[in-house]
Structure 1
């Protein structure tokens, strides 16, 4: 039986240094079409110059792209990392021109499109990959779009980008569906309509398929494992701090050129400090991997739970509110942890270069703490993205008299 399908076009704009992200965007959209899109009778089409343009002549290559694509899209996704791109005859880069055209389209008609922009924070693989002029242009562009009213998101790695894009696309599409008054056609908030949904082959037949509660429970178990690793890291940090606290003044004294103590004693005490610092780095490194892996898996499972929310109609708004409050507190705790770890890292970085062992241990501990701060930044970003989607669902339920009952 024929059915109405809503086609939404997603335009992807970026310089050439985010190839992995562009590939991930395609995977995210394919996954959306097989899950959320299938349920809502919505299909996303990824629009890229590589697939949607053909050779032609214009003022320049970007002009050809503009004329052929004609700004025919519903969602604009922009990505930048370390490269800004090179000038067209109208703007400072092709990506900047594409963003400005999207901005003008939105300003003329705010209902015509949605704009989402992402900036990557990960470090380049090599110093040879850094072009200071390009980096300055990226920073200037970021400042400019912020002044224009754009709320952009930052991410640390490709996996972070994948999770954020999945979260945000789901939310944007649901908003479009609601604005088109399709939501009431697909999902009711009465008991009868809730039962009808279950009868319409919306519940998966595969016995191994997870349900929404499975996702929440399994997701919580991974989040708990991640939190356990974070607590272990902080405990190791506190143990190390306590161990050297009494030695702090003396160790600083050792670093003084006027210290009246023989050089061999200085060396022995310095090596003792280096061994303690190296031991701290060796302890936290495995926990860093567990923290990142378990937390990412937990957020992925929670996100899957929200993705299927409208499919089965969850009415337990109090449980969702509890989940939201838990993540809100979690976000706050991450910020507090980051603050303390930043102070600790700075103290390690400022410690005197007493000998080669201290220098090596200081470098390794600083690198481990830097990785931890990067993981915590990513966690903050993902928690905020998940919480935004969760809040949207809670608002939807409350605006429809409490939602359906299971």
Structure 2
């Protein structure tokens, strides 16, 4: 009951006591009856209001997310007024929000449309939707109901690559390689004359019969690229003044490399040293190397939800993950800065048969001492300050 209604009843009681007549009492009965009827009406109709929200729950940066909101009055009573207020994420809707007031007849419905801009990677709640109504005279406070929130995933930005210099020691793959160590017997590109010591299985008997001389098949060298990416989002490993931009850049790098590898029909996996709001313990779960577009989508969703974490050292995570890596797997570590302890751990992974690449992300990540130390250990170190540097790195690397 609102304060003005209580004041009105008190005034009517005083008038009735002073006049000692039936008119004031009749007014009191009417007000109390209207108040009770309005409360019953509002409560009954509000419980019969059903809402449905439709939108694409996944989007890439730059896309528009169109939301279709339907409100249905399932009661046999009209709703004089119904206020709708949708809670929207600031990162997608900016300062704007959805708010509207509508009248619904018995069994009636209303439809609303609004849109959000997928401007930033993340995992965002859309809602809750607050629905409120009250009596037409305004004698009682409005009643409010809440409709649950749904979530939208905005994938990280992907920088398209044409080539990346990612090393591999795994033979018999589908990627061409300059080294003739591993040859793919399914990819013949020519023939030559037989030389003593050539395997008889390489002889092309049809070509030998037509030329009258033994001919040997030549095969293209190839590799299989199995890559495990470790993305470090521990805040202590990024410089404070550029931490936000640097961690976002690190996620873009991980997403872009994963996309390039899987598009080449190779296997990629991601382990994030960060937080995931969907997991029970809040820690991001590792995704082992797999192929296919479905696996790529899972990788991108994991990176979309990834959040920075505090007091989570990187080295123990590398130690835990490298024991699960097959021989010849490429290990790409993306972080904000490195030290001798990290390089020593990566060198140990290299000694165990892995191919290690270290990528330092952020404007303050460049350290020539670390580069020189990495080169002495056989570990390539790349500094990427902005997304533009990704394009430069792509142009400078040799095609596999």
Q: After TM superposition, is the score higher than 0.5? A: no
TM-score range, shorter chain: under 0.3
**Greater CA radius of gyration, 1 or 2?**
2
**Greater relative contact order: 1 or 2 (C-alpha under 8 angstroms, separation 6 or more)?**
1
Structure with greater helix share of residues:
1
Scaled by the length of structure 2, the TM-score of the pair is 0.24
Scaled by the length of structure 1, the TM-score of the pair is 0.23
